[in-house]
Chains A and B, each alone.
Chain A
Amino acid sequence: MTGNHKTPQAPSLETVHMSKSFGSLRALDDVSLRVASGSFHALLGENGAGKSTLVKCIMGFYQADAGQVLLDGCEALVHSPRDAHALGIGMVYQHFTLVPCLTAAENLVISRADAPMVIDWKKERQQLEAFMDAMPFRVRLDAQVSELSAGEKQKLEILKLLYLDQRFLILDEPTSVLTPAEADEVLGLLGDMAHRGEVTVLMISHKFREVKTFCDSFTVLRRGRFAGSGSAQAVSVSDLSQMMIGDAGLRPPATRTQAPPKGPALHLDKLSASDAEGRRVVSDVTLTVNAGEIVGIAGVSGNGQSALIELLSGQRKIDAGQITINGEDFQPTRRNFDRFKVFGLPEEPLRNAVVPRMTVAENIAFRSFDKPPAANRLGLLSPARIRQRGADLIARFNVHTSSPDAPIETLSGGNVQRAVLARELSGEVEVLIVANPCFGLDFASVSDIRRQIMEARNRGAAVLLVSEDLDEIFELADRIAVMSEGRITYLAPAAETDAIEVGKHVAGQHG
């Protein structure tokens, strides 16, 4: 298993005129991609451009309707991910696939196709140590995976592929779960390995900075078609974005209008809450969000921001303290959401905001299904009206879906979030609660969504924004707070602070 790691061969890979349709939707249209041996290649494109479909065809999750995969110039028949692994093609997914309760060593050994019935741990340990010694980075073999940081887990995922002797690595947005420092380290090491000819890397990315810093070459897809390729070092960022977005261009970033109209203010008064084990996750949070203002809460995830959002949306019980809107007590019930016009864009919409199996139109109706015109006074629904309103909002908010009747789980991440926006921002909004609204989305969706949030503010909404993305906070917020270990540790007007100052407080108690 671990014998040949000293003299690895990095393969080259090509897709030739690859096409794949799902019903009437042409997800891939005649796409040719060439990744040279030992290169670090970036695959760029907006959400829905076909990047995932392309790599899933390479990995054998999907069978392409037309076209071939060439590995080292020879046609490779990949009918299943198992075939891909046998050919030495491995993939690191956006989300971790390690078993959290096992150690790193156990995860590596059980990942083998030929793991023996009875494992000789002593022998395996020796082999693993030898394997680790040959690697440019290592992970503590005895550490339980649940104790590893996101960066270490990502490294272990990559090590797992190398351990399985997979030399063509496909990485699906590998840095979305990493801090910038971790991302730089992992990508740098991978780049070094590629340049030594040990691996070939194909990375799906949204981040131009990473592509420019670490990659050799790139391919851009747009709406399922090839839109350009070349040297990552030679290309300019503006050319790249031009290729990704096409001639339509980006909508300009939202402009902040001054002196917005007066409206109700959201006030949190000494809010506290605990998790299931009774640990304090939110402690004495006091914060006011005025009408026509965005207050951004920055912080490393896991410092109580999610819990704070859950308190406001009724997903978690308030232990102590009070929420008031314009001086009136606010309990997070449906009646109060309507009465105070409170809306929300929760993080991970598939987990918090939609029912994956219900249709797009039904999901868009979550706020309105129990009021006229969707329902009459007896509580009888009109499915036709729900569908009609869904179709209208799908068009207005530019949600890409094959039909209003498609289950929302079949949509891409950006389009799920647009459907949620359509639901929450189509009416009059006075209080808006937003959490990591652009996580994992391509930058056309990102600018679209940020613009909508800014417009809600300009119309006079009080907006509370929780985000792990400092750029997002600085783009949107009027005032910036930092949350650390359940408390607000810093609060300043955006105009009077900067990223370094905020970053210091974010990192302050975590250094």
Chain B
Amino acid sequence: MSLSTSFPRSRFRPDARTAAIIESIVIPLGALIASALIFSLFLLVLGKDPIRFFGLVWTGGIGSAFSFQNTLQRAAPLILTGLAFAVPARIGMTLLGAEGALVLGGFSSAVIAIPMVLGGWPVWIGLPVMALAAMAVGGAWVGIAGWLRHYRGVNETISSLLLTYIAVAIMNFLVEGVFRDPGSTNKASTMPLGADWRVGDIPGTSVHWGLAAGLVLAVLLWVLMERTTFGFAARIAGGNLRAAQAQGLPVGKLAVASCVIAGACAGLAGFFEVAAVHGQANASLAAKYGFTGILVAFLARQNPMAVVPVAILFGALAASGGLVQRRMDMPDATMLVLQGIIFVTLLVSETLYGRLPFLQATQSGDRT
């Protein structure tokens, strides 16, 4: 309405920058709405009430302080794994290795804690050491995929996915073997960390510090990609490898560094899973946070800052899953169906960039 009054008798014609920003908001938002509609059809076919469903998602995910804290708790690892996909995506790499880095990172932090706990180290040294170990192992693990891609020409998507399976297998092998705590009878786990060896909650909430770490990293990585020479060089290499080579940019190092950063983010998520949630490493670490992070990064258009609200949205979906299951008598997989629909709709919406009719003005006609 205001547009038509402030631009009388002429169409709203944003400049190129504004148009790009509008596009990057309107299109993912439109895709979300479209997937909600498609999912509603799915519910109607099942004879369920879509309005009730989205109402429950609201109640279970955002509606109360309790449920919102539950949402944030689940969003924390998703922010980190979302960043783990978004950063290498800017350099043109599609990495599916976050799950593996999370699992191995979490496992490493649980293992490195054992001698420190037994040796009576102070916790304020122990926890940072655990976090650094998780980041180092996660970074190195995904760094392998970057190295293979650049120096051996191996497709990084496939290698990072396979590395994830290897990582989960290694963790299971060691948890059920040498690092198994004799006390863990039901589910093979590493030695449990005592209550004082845990990362606590952010004061005044029931959300652990992983959320704060995610927020800080999101800002830092946004600055890294948008406001530093490293990020600029990465964007050149991601946009046109040959041009980056012709500019003499160290494309190999950029690729490996991006992968290491990605792995470190995911590894840190693993650390918080161990030190804030489970208190030990076991098969529960492989909770698919790494894969949901891909979805988060896609919806965020690989923008590190946008990863945060999107991760919260997916956290809300996860947090309300139990409620939906109970109240509407629907299987656990319902939320996966919704996630799948969102993902497919998003991929389709990628084709709309530069084609929104009301933003056509941004297309320069200076072609021949």
Contact = CB atoms under 8 A, between A and B. Distances in A.
Contact of A335 (B240, B248, B360): B248
Interface stretch (A142-150, A182-190, A376-384): A376-384
Interface stretch (B11-19, B113-121, B167-175, B317-325): B11-19
Given A352-B243, A355-B243, A357-B239, A23 B363 contact: yes
Residue of A48, A333, A335, A366 ringed by the most chain B CB atoms within 10 A = A366
30 contacts: A20-B365, A22-B360, A22-B361, A22-B364, A23-B362, A24-B13, A45-B368, A49-B368, A50-B368, A53-B365, A314-B246, A315-B242, A315-B245, A351-B240, A351-B242, A354-B243, A355-B235, A355-B236, A355-B240, A357-B239, A359-B16, A370-B233, A375-B229, A381-B226, A381-B227, A381-B232, A401-B364, A401-B366, A407-B16, A410-B366
Contacts of B16: 359, 402-403, 405-407
Residue of B16, B250, B364 ringed by the most chain A CB atoms within 10 A = B364
B361 A24 contact: yes
Interface string A394-410: 00000011110111001
A367 B243 contact: no
A21 B235 contact: no
A302 B243 CA distance: 20
Contacts of A50: 368
A380 B228 CA distance: 4
A354 B240 contact: yes
A26 interface: yes
B367 A405 contact: no
Given A333-B248, A380-B227, A381-B229, A366 B243 contact: yes
A212 B98 CA distance: 64
Contacts of A407: 16
Interface string A312-334: 01110000000000000000111
A226 interface: no
Interface stretch (A411-419, A472-480, A492-500): A411-419
A109 B212 CA distance: 62
Interface in B229-262: 229-233, 235-236, 239-240, 242-243, 245-250
Contacts of A23: 13, 360-365
A359 B16 CA distance: 9
A491 to B, nearest CB: 26
Given A25-B366, A406-B364, A334 B250 contact: yes
B147 to A, nearest CB: 18
Interface residues of B, number: 34
Contacts of B242: 315, 351-352
A332 B246 CA distance: 8
Interface in B311-368: 360-368
Contacts of B365: 20-23, 25-27, 53
Given A22-B360, A315-B246, A410 B235 contact: no
A344 interface: yes
Given A351-B242, A357-B239, 11 more contacts: A27-B367, A314-B246, A335-B248, A336-B248, A337-B247, A337-B248, A362-B232, A370-B232, A379-B228, A401-B366, A402-B366
Residue of B15, B227, B229 ringed by the most chain A CB atoms within 10 A = B229
A467 interface: no
A369 B245 contact: no
B234 to A, nearest CB: 11
A49 B367 CA distance: 8
Interface in A33-53: 45-53
A413 B368 contact: yes
Interface of A: 20-27, 45-53, 313-315, 332-337, 344, 346, 351-359, 362, 365-367, 369-370, 375, 379-381, 383, 400-403, 405-407, 410-415, 442
Contacts of A21: 365
A353 B246 contact: yes
Contact of B229 (A22, A355, A379): A379
A473 B233 CA distance: 34
B366 A27 contact: yes
Nearest to B361: A23
Nearest to A355: B239
A53 B367 contact: yes
Contacts of B243: 352-355, 366
- Interface residues of B, dominant DSSP: helix
Residue of B230, B233, B242, B360 ringed by the most chain A CB atoms within 10 A = B242
B231 to A, nearest CB: 8
B364 A411 contact: yes
Residue of B227, B243, B361 ringed by the most chain A CB atoms within 10 A = B243
A400 B243 CA distance: 22
B11 to A, nearest CB: 9
A370 B368 CA distance: 33
A203 to B, nearest CB: 14
B112 to A, nearest CB: 32
B364 A47 contact: no
A370 B248 CA distance: 12
B229 A411 contact: no
Nearest to B233: A370
A337 B247 CA distance: 8
A224 B242 CA distance: 34
Contacts of B227: 380-381, 383
A369 B228 CA distance: 9
B144 to A, nearest CB: 23
B232 A400 contact: no
A431 to B, nearest CB: 13
B341 to A, nearest CB: 28
Contacts of A313: 245-246
A357 B15 CA distance: 16
B353 to A, nearest CB: 10
Contact of A48 (B228, B229, B240, B367): B367
Contacts of A315: 242, 245-246
A486 B25 CA distance: 51
A315 B236 CA distance: 14
A364 to B, nearest CB: 12
Given A313-B245, A314-B246, A346-B246, A358 B239 contact: yes
B243 to A, nearest CB: 6
Nearest to B18: A405
A82 to B, nearest CB: 18
Residue of B15, B246, B360, B365 ringed by the most chain A CB atoms within 10 A = B365
Contacts of A365: 232
